[in-house]
Structure 1
Amino acid sequence: MAHAIAGTMPTPDPAALPLVVGIGGTIGGVSSTERSLRIALDAAAAQGFRTQLFGGADMARLPLYDPRATSRTPEEQAFVAAVRAASAVIIASPGYHGSISGVVKNALDLLEETARDERPYLSDMPVGLIATAYGWQATGSTIAALRSIVHALRGWPTPFAAAINTQITKFDEEGRASDAAVMEQLSLIGRQVARFAPLAAEAKRMQE
């Protein structure tokens, strides 16, 4: 059996790190919404968390949620399993007609599969929120819709939510925002869920 060399710290097992799940994006390529979500997830990773992203392409593979279905697709099962394992979640949605997009709502509807779990839905989990829209009006109403949904799912929306006006802020191919203040706002989302995630992990351990 291998032994650690004196004076060195063992490398942590990535699978043992607490998990932050990101949900968001749009169908048809990597969007500003998904790039915003990745910046927030990177900030959580910098705090010592592992992350898992369910972007637009992943959500497009989820069938419309049917509460009476007797079986779930592998994609549905993977999504639900990831949220069950999570200590925190970050949700990012574009503002479509003043509210969240259909693909994001469909993914969140699938969390009904956790209704009978010991920790149902997003119970006791910090949830970071991001809204992107071409203008300010839809960002505010989309954040409000996301907060309402997270409350219904028994989650804890973090104190700060990021509203990104894509008429002003652009993202490059490396995924960075043109506005340093927006980069900081998105990073703050990741840091806040990381800060509160240990409380969710402790609550989950107490239920096991």
Structure 2
Amino acid sequence: MIAGVADQPLVVGIGGTVGSVSSTERALCIALTAAAQAGYRTRMFGGADMARLPLYDPRAAARTDQEREFVDAVRQASAVIIASPGYHGSISGVVKNALDLLEETAGDARPYLADMPVGLISTAYGWQATGSTIAALRSIVHALRGWPTPFAAAINTQVTKFDDEGGASDPAVVEQLRLIGRQVARFAPLTARSSELATSG
């Protein structure tokens, strides 16, 4: 479900884990709420949504309803926020599979994540995987022609606990996540204008 008014620009959130209460999804929700407060519609594809995406096959003759819904939402987006748990030092399989599906946009006028600001969040039970997961996400976003925002949130869930009310035990972490939402909202009009100038030139 897309939250917000139909004529507002859209921020798509991608992230979460499968089959459990997800700190990653809770972190992503905080960032998306900040984007919504800045005047954007939001749509989150959490762990349950990504679990319904089949393993990406570039040769498939048809796409499922879930695949089409995901790709269409990203096509409509002015900005994206990606949140991944750090699994064995890198991003999770379900997040990578969702991002692989963006190959469906390769022939679009705006392929992949081109000219979009992309906020990044990693969560891990310890510090080591948070940094390597952010680095992996930055590399993927660059490959998809997106613009990672200047700030990324690396969250150690051994230290910071999230609650059901949309908060966390560390106010500084909440503010970091809100900053990501504000940054994608701030940069989206700038990158859209740059894209228009490049196209007209």
Which band: TM-score by shorter chain? over 0.9
Please name the residue that 1:9 is paired with: none
Q: Which runs of 5+ in 2 are unaligned?
A: none
Q: What is the TM-score when the length of structure 2 is the normalising length?
A: 0.94
Contact 1:128–1:189 (CA<8 Å) still a contact in 2?
yes
Please name the residue that 1:150 is paired with: 141
Q: Which runs of 5+ in 1 are unaligned?
A: 1-12
Please name the residue that 2:55 is paired with: 64
Q: What is the TM-score when the length of structure 1 is the normalising length?
A: 0.91
Question: Cα distance, 1:174 vs. partner?
Answer: 1.2
Q: In structure 2, give the amino acid aligned to 1:33.
A: T
- Which of the pair has more CA radius of gyration? 1
Q: Confirm whether residue 201 of structure 1 aligns to residue 197 of structure 2.
A: no
Residues 201 and 17 of structure 1: CA distance in aligned 2, closer, same or farther (over 3 Å): farther
Q: Distance in 2 between matches of 1:164 and 1:193?
A: 19
Residues 201 and 30 of structure 1: CA distance in aligned 2, closer, same or farther (over 3 Å): farther
1:148-180 Cα distance to aligned partner (Å, 9 max, x none): 000000000000000000000001111211100
Q: Distance in 2 between matches of 1:205 and 1:71?
A: 32
1:103-128 Cα distance to aligned partner (Å, 9 max, x none): 00000000000000000000000000
SS in 2 for 1:91: strand
Q: Among the aligned pairs, what percent are the same residue?
A: 80
- In the TM superposition, structure 1's runs of 4+ consecutive aligned residues that sit over 2 Å from their partners are 199-208
Please name the residue that 2:85 is paired with: 94
1:20-45 Cα distance to aligned partner (Å, 9 max, x none): 00000000133000000000000000
Q: In structure 1, give the amino acid aligned to 2:97.
A: N
Question: After superposition, where does 1:156-171 map in structure 2 within 5 Å?
Answer: 156-171=147-162
- The CA RMSD over aligned residues, in Å, is 1.4
Question: Cα distance, 1:202 vs. partner?
Answer: 3.3
Question: Cα distance, 1:203 vs. partner?
Answer: 5.0
Please name the residue that 1:6 is paired with: none
